[in-house]
Amino acid sequence: MENINPEAYQESKLYRIRHSTAHVMAAAVLEKFPEAKIAIGPPIEHGFYYDFDLPRPLTQEDLEELEARMKEMLKETREFDYEEISPAEAQELFADQPYKLELIRDILERGTDEYGEKSDSPPQLSIYKSGDFVDLCRGPHVETTKEINPKAVKLLNVAGAYWRGDSERPMLQRIYGTAWRKPKELRQYLAWLEEVKQRDHRRLIRELDLLSFHEDAGPGLAYWHPRGALMRKTIEDFWRDQHLEGGYDFAYTPHIGKAWLWEKSGHLAYYKDSMYAPMDVDGQDYYIKPMNCPFHIMIYNSQLRSYRELPLRWAELGTVYRYEKSGVLHGLMRVRGFTQDDAHIICTPEQIEAEVLRVLRFSLAMLRAFGFEDFQAYLSTRPGDAIGEPARWDQAQESLRRAIDAEGLDYQVDVGGGAFYGPKIDLHIKDALGRSWQLTTIQFDFNLPERFDMTYVGEDGAEHRPYVVHRALLGSIERFFGILVEHYAGAFPIWLCPEQARLIPIADRHIEYAKAVEEQLQQAGLRAQTDASSSRMGAKIREAQLMKVPYMLIVGDREAEDETVSVRLRSEENLGAMTVEDFIVRAQEAIQTRAVQ
RNA sequence: GCCGACGUAGCUCAAUCGGCGGAGCAUCCGCCUUGUAAGCGGAGGGUUGUGGGUUCGAUUCCCACCGUCGGCUCCA
């Protein structure tokens, strides 16, 4: 998938094609359901949608019928005619379209556009007509349906969507479709969707025997099987080593704490819906932690702190539990129990700039080690309901901005998008399929230091309030793992593979030699196993291929005689025979460089 | 949480109109002893997600619940 920036997209012909195709779809829906109420239908990243209030739920068959009708409509030449109209005309025209009337009201009264976003231009109502279909719309559209290739259009699925994205308002039916310039582009997009499906971590974690979920034991709770657990250990060991080198200290904190902690932190006031119900311990309410911060603060406050010991950088792979609503759980990407690669940086105002740059660099190095190269940064600044001194906000935001500049990252500013307690940087990576995932978050907190009265004694002998920065680089281990699975389609870099090499004896008489080589490889620190099953060699190779084992080492009479292994890669490349020593050197090199094969 | 679809063996899927639940793969047991992606034969495996209801009879129809999937909302 090509990636184009949002501004260029909105200017593009493709954008107009999709917008116009959405109108044609709405025309087909209105033809089939004359009583339908239409809402909005914008182009989106890979297509378009349109929301409808319909007399009955749509079926897959309806979708096919609508698509067929759209294609007929597209074969007729219809012009998309723009017209500016007065409020009275608009109200007349859309008299039986309550959603449109609401939009008209908003455009006139609030100066927003038809998607509810602030518009710079003075309120002006406009419509587009094509055939019998008229829609309140500012455009832009194609000139005529001739510009839309019916063979490059497809309706994809139906889903529920709240009117204006508001869960208090009616649930509409949203039809998603896609449209491209050429049929070939549509085919490529459909192939891409198929690739997305093939790489779905929910399928791969089962097929590769890495993790499972158990609906009967609790949804949204991940079970790490031995192969997955070995990968997780490898990730965590690397993470710890890096943190040690990176100037962090470690903390381990409890999984539960008394209610006052969460009252004091404000979580019970603002976050209770996402917390599990308390448990009674000796008549006291204890909550399972949804975050690690209050515990790290307990450590900080366990003694008087001097400016001389700052900055403190305390890292913890902290497992937290959050009650996520049932409809939002999604494999490893959204779970109810997960381990954050958390850390808190506690420092003086003088140190903050250097600390922010340091943590940003650290994060980029960490993500690069896992094979991610394409980063975008998002800076979220002070919202309206912020707490904390404006001067501190300014300093924090500036330090974040300068760090991004220093690293030369592309970034966007989400003005007012910060949490009420502090500004933040989020880092997104692009995966092998061009999809964007948020991983790192570097987040100031002006709230907790106040609430827990965190202080340090400064050079002047007076008490000062430290800066606190929360940060998670990988985010959650579970989610990061899911992203790795999809990014590599299960064919992980060798250093991460649970099984790095598989010995494949051709006949039973070669098992003894295979086991000897296995032992030799294990001595050299390689994760190797012998397939001693009664299957034929072809079946063993197939099995190892499906498990995406990077090295298949075939051993038969020749290899046993020469003390070699015949090396096959999961790429299907056959390297031929080499001595066991040569193979070990080769594999260790790939592991040490964290090579992406 | 909301809208819709779905839930049959470990996995992928069958089962006419409501009439004794099957197949492939996987597993186990044999045989075969193999040269770069599936050798052959046999066996075991199910309260059809759970609980109600309708019916002489329910995988099939109805209701509730649980879960999964596609979205929406949410993600201080």
What integer pLDDT is reported at residue A108 of this predicted model? 87
The tokens for A590 are 């790939």
Nearest nucleotide (CA of A556 to C1'): B35
Q: Where are the domains of chain A?
A: 6-197, 231-253+289-486, 501-592
* pLDDT at position A123 over 90: no
pLDDT band at A533 (very low <50, low <70, confident <90, very high): very high
Report which of A170, A215, A224 is spatially closest to residue A326, judged by C-alpha positions. A215
> Is A132 an annotated catalytic residue?
no
The answer to whether the CB of A367 falls within 8 A of the CB of A439 is yes
Mean pLDDT throughout A429-434? Answer: 95
Which H or E run includes A220? strand A218-224
Judging by DSSP bridges, how do beta strands A501-505 and A528-530 pair with one another?
parallel
Q: How far apart are CA A337 and CA A478, in angstroms?
A: 9
Q: Would you say residue A43 has pLDDT above 90?
A: yes
The answer to whether strand B lies under 7 Å from the CB of residue A516 is: no
CA atoms of A103 and A97, how far apart (whole Å):
10
Residue A267 predicted with pLDDT over 60: yes
pTM equals 0.95
| Residue numbers 354-413 of A with CB closer than 7 A to any atom of strand B | none
* CATH code for residues A6-197: 3.30.980.10
Mean pLDDT of all residues in A456-471 = 97
- Whether pLDDT at A115 is above 70: no
**pLDDT one-digit tens code per residue, A161-195:** 999 999 999 999 999 999 999 999 999 999 999 99
Catalytic (active site) residue A342: yes
CATH match of A501-592 with 3.40.50.800: yes
Q: Could you tell me which residues are beta bridge partners of residue A321?
A: A337
Continuous H helices in A94-200: 98-110, 183-198
Residue A347 known to be catalytic: no
**A8 or A43: which leads in pLDDT:** A43
Nearest nt to the A220 alpha carbon by C1': B67
Percentage of residues in chain A having pLDDT higher than 70: 97
Residue A114's pLDDT is what?
A: 63
Catalytic annotation on A509?
no
Q: Are A555 and A531 in contact (CB under 8 A)?
A: no
- Mean residue pLDDT of chain A comes to 95
What Cα–Cα distance (Å) separates residue A305 from each residue in A43, A253, A271, A458, A468? 55, 20, 30, 9, 14
Calculate mean pLDDT across residues A234-250. Answer: 98
Token duo for residue A294: 């209050």
Model confidence at A124, in pLDDT bands (50, 70, 90)?
confident
pLDDT digits (tens, 9 = 90+) for A353-410: 999 999 999 999 999 999 999 999 999 999 988 999 999 999 999 999 999 999 999 9
A202 touches strand B (CB under 7 A): yes
Give how far Cα A391 sits from Cα of A176, A217, A349, A353, A381, Å.
46, 49, 11, 14, 13
Q: pLDDT tier at A215 (50, 70, 90 boundaries)?
A: confident
Q: A291 CA, B54 C1': separation in Å?
A: 51
User: What is the pLDDT at residue A293?
Assistant: 97
Predicted pLDDT at A121: 64
Q: What pLDDT sits at residue A120?
A: 62
**CATH 3.30.1330.10 at A231-253+289-486, yes or no:** no
Q: Given a cut of 60, is residue A2 above it in pLDDT?
A: no
Instruction: Render pLDDT for A79-109 as a digit per residue (tens, 0 to 9).
Output: 999 999 999 999 999 999 999 999 999 988 8
* Dist CA A225 CA A67 (whole Å): 44
Per-residue burial over A65-90, b = 16 or more CB atoms within 10 Å of its CB, e = otherwise: ebbebbbebbeeebebeeeebeeeeb
HSE at residue A122, side-chain half, CA atoms within 13 A, is 1
pLDDT at A417 over 80: yes
Cα A283 → chain centroid: 41
Fold identical between A6-197 and A231-253+289-486?
A: no
Residue A196 has pLDDT above 70, yes or no: yes
**Residue A470 among the catalytic residues:** yes
SS3 per residue for A25-45: HHHHHHHHCCCCEECCCCEEC
Statement: residue A1 has pLDDT above 60: no
For residue A457, report the phi and psi dihedrals to the nearest 5 degrees: -90, 120
Q: Distance between CA A346 and CA A464 in Å, rounded? A: 12
Residue A112's pLDDT is 67
